[in-house]
Structure 1
Amino acid sequence: MKEIADILTSFKLAQQAGKKVALATVVHVEGSSYRRPGARMLVTEDGQLTGAISGGCLEGDALKKALLAIMQQQNKLVTYDTTDEDDARLGVQLGCNGIVHILFEPIDPQAQHHALHLLEQAMEKRRDAVLVTLFRLSKAAEQPGTCLLYADGAFSGPLEEGALRTEIVNDALETMGNRQSLIRRYGDEKPALHGFIELLQPPVSLVIAGAGNDAIPLVEMAAILGWHTTVVDGRALYATPARFPRASRVIVTKAAEVPEKVAIDARTVFVLMTHNYNYDLALLEALLQAKEEVRYIGTLGPKKKLARMLDELAIKGISVTGEQRARIHGPVGLDIGAETSEEIALSVMAEIKSILSDRTGIPLREKDGPIHAL
């Protein structure tokens, strides 16, 4: 979602400057590609780029296509085919051995439901949403573009009522239920109409318990990824916005009060690293008894520390279920040989990302099958 947030910020600046823009979206990939469906890039008429649709090899050519779409005020689909080993003839040198389909949509700020307006709606709250983009795999065909948003139980967008909308609505509901984006084909006409039914999720909300120096690189790395961070601690001298300028919030509070002061949802994760055993213990107890389930709780320190904490909770009559225990990670982080606070932060961030993505964290060379699911 950071890419989308950056694009929306750039769009507002472009509007203020009176610049025309186009949105480039990877809508379909066959084979291997650096970016997958859902990757986006905003292009202004004077050549400013925000976001990315490749590792940098497509952007130059995509700029030309975007400017053409802006000039003609017409959606366009461009296909980059690198399955031929001699992809140098394309002038892009992808080296990915795949076919990438990119939709370019010139944005009319006066339109009621243009693509960026729908993306802005999706970003307004911490909620899951589904965005539908229709396209045809032919550069000469009409390209409907971004047409429907499902959020907060309601649909909005320019897609007209009818059999097609009904079918797409059902697919959007399926995507929301399965938590998985998909590509669907609609009708029998040629060239075929396809829909990219995209699940959009809010940024990760990382709550760091502990305002020590070792929490600073964790906040910095989270900011780079576009995660929202909250630093909580009972020490007013440590928990200050001046020490954590890139944190979304800094709260001085007792451990037991944290669940009341921090909104917890499916994308909220906690790292307990106050270096104060009693504070971490009290917070762990509060999280285990919170109304909302916390998907990830990381505890800094050795295994014996976590074992002691769980034993003390059991003595107090607080039983930890197997499901709850599986969500508690201590020692926190992946085994990468981390020593410094920066390396530890990298280890922690990698583990959290793997958990939220339902991945193992193994080296990619040991993975069977494609890297990406879609």
Structure 2
Amino acid sequence: MKNLIKMCNEWKAGHQVFLATIIKTRGSTYRKTGAQLVINDKQQHEGLLSGGCLEKDLTERVKRLLDTRNSQEICSYYNDREDPVFGLNTGCNGDVHILIESTEWLKKYYSKLNKAICQQSDIRIVSSLDENAFFQRMLWIDGERVDHESPREPKTFIKINEPGLHFHDDLHYYVHHFQQNPRMFIWGAGDDALPVAEFSSKLGFEVIVLDYRESLLSGDRFCFPNTRKIILPSIADVFLEEYGMDRNSFVVIMSHSVKFDSAAITMSLNYGCQYIGVLGPRERLITLLENQPASAKDVIHNPIGLDIAADTPEEITISILGEIIQFKNQKKRMRMFSEGS
């Protein structure tokens, strides 16, 4: 979703925007299918689709598309041929196919997209890879077609629910799925939670920090991008669905208060969260789980984090987020396999 937000911001600033998407790979590659890069008409971009090997060439291609007024191009980088940037084989020893497309057609739906982003809607874009297809592109929000670029009803074989590259007879198309940023609920606002919130924000999480101590959430503490602070004087009166807590939320519990941590576990379980990480030794966890169902152990990670012999708060943060990234991406791969089966 961050790339769609970035596109909206670029439009608002008056720029033309191109979206570069990896649509197919073979062998070892830096990024995989679905990875995206937003490039504006000033050839500016953030992020990487490669280890720095392809980005300059991609921005040059965007310049040529602007000069020729073409709306899209598919570029392929093969490991067994000379790399267009360095004249050498690509460092990852794999092949990458990238779709570069103008988003000018999408700009007219700016208000609808902004509303959809705020409402946490499911947003998908279908892009034809063939000039003579019966459609060129389609925009879907929460399963409803909202664009007017082509006939209202797509053919029944358009698989909008399956992100990725599709082939049917002579029709080739790609389905973009813009997912909401994952949410990270951090229970506890002590000094050791500061790097967890900061690094989570940098990784693109929507961060919510909760604590019963107002002083820990005052001033400029936890003032990171996409980070909200919630003071909980009475946890029994809090309903976190308004902040987006659901089964897909990630939870880190680190207040160092048995009462607060226990309440955080109860609430996280009630919302069906599938990753609940609890800081502290296993002996303490036994106390926290005294009134919890036996199934709670299936979703609770304790000690939290990967075992990298972490010592400092920053190292502990890396171990925590390493485990969360591993969990998140494994779930993502399982979901993509299920959707494509």
TM over 0.5, yes or no? yes
Q: How many residues align?
A: 331
1:89-119 deviations in Å (ceiling 9; x for gaps)? 8737522333322222234368645xx8887
Q: Which amino acid aligns with 1:152?
A: D
Q: Equivalent residue of 1:165, what SS? A: coil
CA distance in 2, matches of 1:349, 1:266: 18
2:258 maps to 277
2:9 maps to 9
1:61 aligns with 2:60: no
1:149 aligns with 2:139: yes
- Structure 1 residues 276 and 110, CA, compared in 2 at 3 Å: closer, same or farther? closer
CA distance in 1, matches of 2:111, 2:27: 31
CA distance in 2, matches of 1:256, 1:101: 52
1:255 aligns with 2:227: no
1:310 aligns with 2:310: no
1:231 aligns with 2:209: yes
Cα deviation for residue 334 of structure 1 reads: 1.2
Q: Equivalent residue of 2:310, what SS? A: coil
Q: Which amino acid aligns with 1:352?
A: I
- Structure 1 residues 158 and 92, CA, compared in 2 at 3 Å: closer, same or farther? farther
1:172 aligns with 2:172: no
CA distance in 1, matches of 2:326, 2:277: 13
CA distance in 2, matches of 1:66, 1:143: 23
Deviates more, 1:345-354 or 1:25-34: 25-34
Contact 2:53–2:85 (8 Å) recurs in 1: no
* Counterpart pick for 2:179 among 201, 215, 221: 201
* Counterpart pick for 2:39 among 37, 40, 43: 43
CA distance in 2, matches of 1:119, 1:194: 25
Alpha-carbon RMSD across the aligned residues, in angstroms, is: 3.1
1:274-306 deviations in Å (ceiling 9; x for gaps)? 111111112222333x3x311211111001111
Contact 2:279–2:302 (8 Å) recurs in 1: yes
Contiguous gaps of at least 5 residues in structure 1: 176-180, 361-372
Contact 2:43–2:62 (8 Å) recurs in 1: no
CA distance in 1, matches of 2:81, 2:44: 31
Contact 1:255–1:286 (8 Å) recurs in 2: no
Cα deviation for residue 257 of structure 1 reads: 3.8
- Structure 1 residues 120 and 131, CA, compared in 2 at 3 Å: closer, same or farther? farther
- Structure 1 residues 352 and 109, CA, compared in 2 at 3 Å: closer, same or farther? same
CA distance in 1, matches of 2:11, 2:22: 18
Cα deviation for residue 158 of structure 1 reads: 4.4
CA distance in 2, matches of 1:129, 1:95: 34
CA distance in 1, matches of 2:277, 2:136: 39
Identity in percent = 29
CA distance in 2, matches of 1:226, 1:122: 18
1:249-295 deviations in Å (ceiling 9; x for gaps)? 1111033344446431233121110111111112222333x3x3112
Q: Equivalent residue of 2:156, what SS? A: helix
Contiguous gaps of at least 5 residues in structure 2: 333-339
Contact 1:135–1:144 (8 Å) recurs in 2: no
CA distance in 1, matches of 2:262, 2:300: 13
Q: Equivalent residue of 1:49, what SS? A: coil
1:346 aligns with 2:325: no
Cα deviation for residue 184 of structure 1 reads: 1.3
Q: Equivalent residue of 1:217, what SS? A: helix
